[in-house]
Amino acid sequence: MVKRQQFTAEFKREAVRQMRAGDKPIAQLSRELGIPRSRLYKWNQAVEAHGEADAFPGSGRRSAEQSELMRLRRALARAEQELEILKKAEAYFASAPTRGTPGSKRSKQPTR
């Protein structure tokens, strides 16, 4: 079984710095570093998203507090999406014509 490669945060930051410098093509840089190009791109995205200092926080294992915080943030995001959907539905049904409801002009049957 092949052991999974692990890289230090400093190695990742340096690889991203070299990639951004553009002195070498990314394919050549990835060969020299012994990593796939896609991994370089992912590291670059992490640096862009979180900043250079916070991009690679640690060993990949989160503490119980961090896991709970992430779970709560996901739940909050989902609740906010659901609220937006309900607001749109409310606005839609509030503006929909009330054809056929009691008391509306069209609900009365014409007399013959």
> What is the CATH T-level fold of the domain 1-60, as seen in this structure?
Arc Repressor Mutant, subunit A (1.10.10)
Q: What residue ranges do the domains of the chain occupy?
A: 1-60, 62-98
Tell me if 44 sits within 8 A of 20, measured CB to CB.
yes
**Over pLDDT 90: what percentage of the chain?**
45
Q: What is the pLDDT of residues 19-71, one digit of tens each?
A: 999 888 999 999 999 999 999 999 999 888 888 777 787 666 677 888 899 89
Report the 10 Å Cβ neighbour count for 44: 18
Tell me if 29 sits within 8 A of 15, measured CB to CB.
yes
Q: Enter the pTM of the model.
A: 0.50
Tell me if 19 sits within 8 A of 29, measured CB to CB.
yes
User: What is the distance between the alpha carbons of residues 43 and 29, in angstroms, rounded to a whole number?
Assistant: 14
pLDDT of residue 57: 72
pLDDT of residue 67: 82
